[in-house]
Amino acid sequence: MSANRKPKVATVWLDGCSGCHMSFLDIDERLVALSSLIDIVYSPVVDPKDFPTDVDVTLVEGAVSSEEDLHKIQVIRQRTKILISLGDCAVTGNVPAMRNSYEPAELLARAYVENAQSPDSRQPPTRGLPALRPKAQPVHELVKVDLYLPGCPPPADAIHFVVAELLAGRTPDPSQLTRFGR
Protein backbone atom coordinates (compact mmCIF):
# COMPACT_ATOMS: atom_id res chain seq x y z
CA MET A 1 0.00 0.00 0.00
CA SER A 2 1.66 3.21 -1.09
CA ALA A 3 1.94 5.98 1.48
CA ASN A 4 0.56 8.76 -0.71
CA ARG A 5 -2.93 7.34 -1.22
CA LYS A 6 -5.51 5.72 0.99
CA PRO A 7 -5.75 1.92 0.72
CA LYS A 8 -8.63 0.79 -1.49
CA VAL A 9 -10.99 -1.64 0.24
CA ALA A 10 -13.86 -3.58 -1.35
CA THR A 11 -16.54 -5.85 0.08
CA VAL A 12 -18.59 -8.32 -1.96
CA TRP A 13 -21.50 -10.59 -1.29
CA LEU A 14 -21.79 -13.92 -3.11
CA ASP A 15 -24.03 -16.78 -1.83
CA GLY A 16 -24.61 -15.50 1.69
CA CYS A 17 -27.37 -13.84 3.70
CA SER A 18 -25.76 -10.36 4.07
CA GLY A 19 -25.28 -11.07 7.78
CA CYS A 20 -21.53 -10.56 7.47
CA HIS A 21 -22.15 -7.16 5.90
CA MET A 22 -24.55 -6.31 8.72
CA SER A 23 -21.79 -7.22 11.15
CA PHE A 24 -19.39 -5.02 9.14
CA LEU A 25 -21.82 -2.12 9.65
CA ASP A 26 -21.96 -3.01 13.37
CA ILE A 27 -18.43 -1.64 13.61
CA ASP A 28 -20.53 1.46 14.28
CA GLU A 29 -18.77 4.74 15.03
CA ARG A 30 -15.38 3.20 14.35
CA LEU A 31 -16.48 3.13 10.69
CA VAL A 32 -16.20 6.91 10.69
CA ALA A 33 -12.58 6.74 11.82
CA LEU A 34 -11.92 3.94 9.31
CA SER A 35 -13.45 5.92 6.47
CA SER A 36 -10.82 8.61 6.83
CA LEU A 37 -8.10 5.96 6.50
CA ILE A 38 -9.48 3.87 3.62
CA ASP A 39 -11.42 4.29 0.39
CA ILE A 40 -14.33 1.87 0.10
CA VAL A 41 -14.25 1.53 -3.68
CA TYR A 42 -16.79 -1.26 -4.20
CA SER A 43 -19.42 -2.69 -1.86
CA PRO A 44 -23.18 -3.22 -1.50
CA VAL A 45 -23.08 0.00 0.54
CA VAL A 46 -21.47 2.23 -2.15
CA ASP A 47 -22.45 3.08 -5.73
CA PRO A 48 -19.88 1.75 -8.24
CA LYS A 49 -21.22 -1.17 -10.30
CA ASP A 50 -17.95 -2.47 -11.75
CA PHE A 51 -15.20 -3.94 -9.64
CA PRO A 52 -12.25 -1.56 -9.86
CA THR A 53 -8.72 -2.57 -10.76
CA ASP A 54 -5.95 -2.34 -8.21
CA VAL A 55 -7.86 -2.97 -4.96
CA ASP A 56 -5.74 -3.47 -1.84
CA VAL A 57 -8.11 -5.50 0.35
CA THR A 58 -11.36 -7.30 -0.55
CA LEU A 59 -13.62 -8.93 2.02
CA VAL A 60 -15.76 -11.67 0.42
CA GLU A 61 -18.97 -12.83 2.07
CA GLY A 62 -20.69 -15.99 0.86
CA ALA A 63 -19.93 -19.27 -0.86
CA VAL A 64 -19.31 -19.64 -4.59
CA SER A 65 -22.59 -21.14 -5.72
CA SER A 66 -23.44 -19.96 -9.24
CA GLU A 67 -21.52 -19.39 -12.46
CA GLU A 68 -21.93 -15.67 -11.83
CA ASP A 69 -20.29 -16.03 -8.38
CA LEU A 70 -17.38 -17.86 -10.00
CA HIS A 71 -16.91 -15.19 -12.66
CA LYS A 72 -17.05 -12.42 -10.03
CA ILE A 73 -14.54 -14.03 -7.70
CA GLN A 74 -12.09 -14.70 -10.53
CA VAL A 75 -12.19 -11.03 -11.58
CA ILE A 76 -11.90 -9.93 -7.94
CA ARG A 77 -8.91 -12.16 -7.36
CA GLN A 78 -7.10 -10.71 -10.38
CA ARG A 79 -7.71 -7.18 -9.17
CA THR A 80 -7.10 -7.62 -5.41
CA LYS A 81 -3.86 -7.77 -3.44
CA ILE A 82 -5.26 -9.26 -0.20
CA LEU A 83 -8.39 -11.40 -0.47
CA ILE A 84 -10.19 -12.20 2.80
CA SER A 85 -12.85 -14.89 3.22
CA LEU A 86 -15.38 -13.14 5.44
CA GLY A 87 -17.63 -15.46 7.43
CA ASP A 88 -18.42 -19.16 7.48
CA CYS A 89 -20.08 -19.33 4.03
CA ALA A 90 -16.91 -18.03 2.37
CA VAL A 91 -14.63 -20.09 4.63
CA THR A 92 -16.49 -23.43 4.80
CA GLY A 93 -19.52 -23.29 2.48
CA ASN A 94 -21.71 -23.29 5.62
CA VAL A 95 -25.48 -23.02 5.04
CA PRO A 96 -25.39 -22.56 1.23
CA ALA A 97 -23.41 -25.81 1.01
CA MET A 98 -26.21 -27.73 2.78
CA ARG A 99 -27.69 -28.12 -0.71
CA ASN A 100 -24.66 -30.08 -1.85
CA SER A 101 -26.16 -33.50 -1.14
CA TYR A 102 -28.73 -32.77 -3.90
CA GLU A 103 -28.50 -32.15 -7.63
CA PRO A 104 -29.18 -28.56 -8.82
CA ALA A 105 -32.14 -29.83 -10.91
CA GLU A 106 -33.74 -31.32 -7.77
CA LEU A 107 -33.31 -28.01 -5.94
CA LEU A 108 -34.87 -25.97 -8.74
CA ALA A 109 -37.79 -28.42 -8.99
CA ARG A 110 -38.33 -28.16 -5.24
CA ALA A 111 -38.31 -24.36 -5.26
CA TYR A 112 -40.09 -23.56 -8.50
CA VAL A 113 -42.33 -26.58 -9.18
CA GLU A 114 -43.26 -28.43 -5.97
CA ASN A 115 -43.57 -25.23 -3.90
CA ALA A 116 -44.91 -22.95 -6.64
CA GLN A 117 -48.02 -21.08 -5.51
CA SER A 118 -49.30 -20.18 -8.96
CA PRO A 119 -49.98 -23.04 -11.39
CA ASP A 120 -48.85 -20.75 -14.24
CA SER A 121 -45.31 -20.43 -12.95
CA ARG A 122 -44.48 -24.07 -12.40
CA GLN A 123 -41.07 -24.06 -14.03
CA PRO A 124 -37.69 -22.70 -13.06
CA PRO A 125 -37.06 -19.27 -14.59
CA THR A 126 -34.93 -19.38 -17.72
CA ARG A 127 -33.87 -15.71 -17.72
CA GLY A 128 -32.14 -13.60 -15.11
CA LEU A 129 -31.21 -16.52 -12.88
CA PRO A 130 -27.49 -17.40 -12.86
CA ALA A 131 -26.86 -21.11 -13.46
CA LEU A 132 -26.21 -23.02 -10.23
CA ARG A 133 -22.91 -24.84 -10.04
CA PRO A 134 -23.13 -28.51 -8.97
CA LYS A 135 -21.94 -27.57 -5.47
CA ALA A 136 -21.70 -24.42 -3.35
CA GLN A 137 -18.01 -24.19 -2.48
CA PRO A 138 -15.81 -22.23 -0.10
CA VAL A 139 -13.94 -19.42 -1.86
CA HIS A 140 -10.47 -20.95 -1.37
CA GLU A 141 -11.45 -24.03 -3.40
CA LEU A 142 -11.66 -21.79 -6.48
CA VAL A 143 -9.21 -18.91 -6.01
CA LYS A 144 -6.32 -18.23 -3.65
CA VAL A 145 -7.43 -16.71 -0.33
CA ASP A 146 -4.97 -14.77 1.82
CA LEU A 147 -6.80 -14.56 5.15
CA TYR A 148 -9.70 -16.35 6.85
CA LEU A 149 -12.20 -14.64 9.13
CA PRO A 150 -14.71 -17.28 10.29
CA GLY A 151 -17.97 -16.68 12.14
CA CYS A 152 -21.67 -16.65 11.36
CA PRO A 153 -21.35 -13.73 11.23
CA PRO A 154 -17.86 -12.76 12.40
CA PRO A 155 -18.31 -10.29 15.29
CA ALA A 156 -17.86 -6.61 14.38
CA ASP A 157 -14.83 -6.48 16.68
CA ALA A 158 -13.14 -9.25 14.70
CA ILE A 159 -13.77 -7.50 11.37
CA HIS A 160 -12.52 -4.19 12.76
CA PHE A 161 -9.46 -5.88 14.23
CA VAL A 162 -8.54 -7.48 10.89
CA VAL A 163 -8.94 -4.27 8.88
CA ALA A 164 -7.09 -2.19 11.51
CA GLU A 165 -4.20 -4.66 11.71
CA LEU A 166 -3.85 -4.71 7.92
CA LEU A 167 -3.82 -0.91 7.87
CA ALA A 168 -1.04 -1.01 10.44
CA GLY A 169 0.93 -3.30 8.12
CA ARG A 170 0.56 -6.40 10.28
CA THR A 171 -0.88 -9.85 9.44
CA PRO A 172 -3.85 -10.29 11.76
CA ASP A 173 -4.69 -13.51 13.62
CA PRO A 174 -8.40 -13.18 14.51
CA SER A 175 -8.64 -16.66 16.11
CA GLN A 176 -9.15 -15.26 19.61
CA LEU A 177 -12.05 -13.06 18.51
CA THR A 178 -14.10 -15.46 16.42
CA ARG A 179 -14.58 -19.11 15.42
CA PHE A 180 -16.75 -21.27 13.18
CA GLY A 181 -20.44 -20.75 13.98
CA ARG A 182 -19.89 -17.74 16.18
Partner 1 sequence: MTVPTIVPAQSFSMKIDGIDVSARAGQTILEVAQENGIEIPMLCYVEGLSNWGGCRLCLVEVVGQKKLFPACSTAASEDAQVVTNSERLQRYRRTILELIFSERNHVCAVCVSNGHCELQAMAQKLGMTHIHVPYRFPSHDVDSSHDRFRLDQNRCILCTRCVRVCAEIEGAATKGVSGRGIESLIINDLKEAWGDSQTCTSCSKCVHVCPTGALVEKGTAAAEMAKRRQFLPYLTVMRENTP
Q: Please, which residue, 67 or 141, has the CB nearer to partner 1? A: 141
**From the CB of 79, what's the least distance to partner 1, in Å?**
22
Give per-residue burial for 113-146: e unless 16+ CB within 10 Å, then b: eeeeeeeeeeebeeeeeeebbebbbbbbebbebb
Do 133 and 102 contact (CB within 8 A), yes or no? no
Residues written for the chain:
182
**From the CB of 149, what's the least distance to partner 1, in Å?**
9
According to DSSP, residue 155 is labeled P
Phi, psi of 5, deg, nearest 5: -140, 155
Please give the sequence-ordered ranges of beta strands (E in DSSP) within the chain, or none if there are none.
8-13, 39-42, 55-61, 64-66, 80-86, 132-137, 147-149
Q: What residue ranges bind partner 1 (CB under 8 A)?
A: 85, 88, 91-95, 97-98, 100-101, 135, 138, 140-141, 145, 148, 150, 152, 175, 179-181
**From the CB of 99, what's the least distance to partner 1, in Å?**
9
**From the CB of 47, what's the least distance to partner 1, in Å?**
31
Q: Please, which residue, 57 or 84, has the CB nearer to partner 1? A: 84
Q: Please, which residue, 37 or 98, has the CB nearer to partner 1? A: 98
Q: Please, which residue, 76 or 91, has the CB nearer to partner 1? A: 91
